[in-house]
Amino acid sequence: MTNKVVVLGSLNVDTTLHIDQMPKPGETISARSKTNSAGGKGANQAVAAARSGAITSFIGQVGDDGNGQFMIDALKNDRINTDHVAVDQAHGTGSAVILLDSQGQNSIMVYGGANQAMETGMLAKSESLIESADILISEFETPQEVTYEAFKLAKKHGVTTILNPAPASKIIDGLLEVTDLIVPNETESATLTGIEVNDTASMDANADKFAQMGIAHLIITVGDRGAYYHTPSDSGFVPAFKVQAKDTTAAGDTFIGAFSSKVNQDLSNIEEALVYAQQASSITVQRLGALPSIPTAAEIENEYKS
């Protein structure tokens, strides 16, 4: 079965500065090189889903500028439906500056722009699109109020909702009640629950806390260690595939997008989908950039064929 995935999220043009090491406070350093590419958590997740075979559509907003058209074209290049990407006359297209050191670690500064100017009213035109989906994904680079309204529409029509609470911030009332699966990394999970993530027991404690908050299905990604999952009937840990990372940008987004292309609507094959998602993100971290680093299903299959 081919999943129909809708992503409600951010569209950013990424500027990456390649540096030897992160600057100290007050320090001026030189960048070895600079690259520009399409990105944003929403765009990355949508492209990852599309390249893994999902029929993918996007709900978002760009500015009336060259960067906005650049982002729309980038989505179309991966056969993503952009009919529900609005153009905002008052705000510029979102952008991000990424500092990438020689060890492959990054620091990211994001300008929300048109992403943060999204309003709930724009969803009126998107209900039929959401109704037709199997999976709806959103994150926190667009307003939570918009995600909440979209998730309510999804639940009205029996669509599975996946929330990536990144960057972590206080979750508005009601949103978790219409979320089927939450996928934070270890830092985001600790921020939301108040429980540090450092071993299996602490992951279980995070799962218990999320259950109290109304979320029965949880995945916590822990970088190059792997991913923990918890459902009402099972829990476990899927180790990451060991590779030499060049750039961790978009690794988490690749994970979520690839996962959404394989997981069943009832989340019954969560562990199987997790393994595939780990395979996809392991390839992403070996490449530079956001969208350019995301692998296709054929690349993943070739890399990990049994």
Question: Does 204 count as an annotated binding residue?
Answer: no
- The average confidence (pLDDT) of the chain is 94
User: Would the pLDDT of 132 be above 70?
Assistant: yes
Sheet of 4-8: strands edge to edge? Answer: 81-88, 55-63, 4-8, 135-139, 160-164, 181-182, 217-221, 226-230, 235-239
Mean pLDDT of 288-293: 84
Question: Does 112 count as an annotated binding residue?
Answer: no
Question: Does 222 count as an annotated binding residue?
Answer: yes
Question: Does 7 count as an annotated binding residue?
Answer: no
The per-residue pLDDT for 279 is: 95
Share of the chain above pLDDT 90, in %: 85
Residue pLDDT, tens place only, 18-42:
999 999 999 999 999 998 889 999 9
Of 106-110, 269-273, 281-285, which range is least confident? 106-110
Annotated catalytic residue within 101, 134, 253, 266: 253
Instruction: Categorize the per-residue pLDDT at 64 as very low, low, confident or very high, splitting at 50, 70 and 90.
Output: very high
The per-residue pLDDT for 1 is: 78
Higher-pLDDT residue of 4, 244: 4
Backbone phi, psi, residue 296, to 5°: -90, 165
Question: Does 14 count as an annotated binding residue?
Answer: yes
Instruction: Categorize the per-residue pLDDT at 210 as very low, low, confident or very high, splitting at 50, 70 and 90.
Output: very high
User: Would the pLDDT of 96 be above 70?
Assistant: yes
User: Would the pLDDT of 282 be above 90?
Assistant: yes
Instruction: Categorize the per-residue pLDDT at 306 as very low, low, confident or very high, splitting at 50, 70 and 90.
Output: low
Mean pLDDT of 158-173: 95
Question: Does 44 count as an annotated binding residue?
Answer: yes
- C-alpha–C-alpha distance, residues 256 and 262, integer Å: 10
What domains does the chain contain, in order, with CATH numbers?
A: 9-22+33-303 (3.40.1190.20)
Question: Does 187 count as an annotated binding residue?
Answer: no
Could you confirm whether 173 is annotated as catalytic? Answer: no
Question: Does 110 count as an annotated binding residue?
Answer: no
The per-residue pLDDT for 180 is: 97
Question: Does 284 count as an annotated binding residue?
Answer: yes
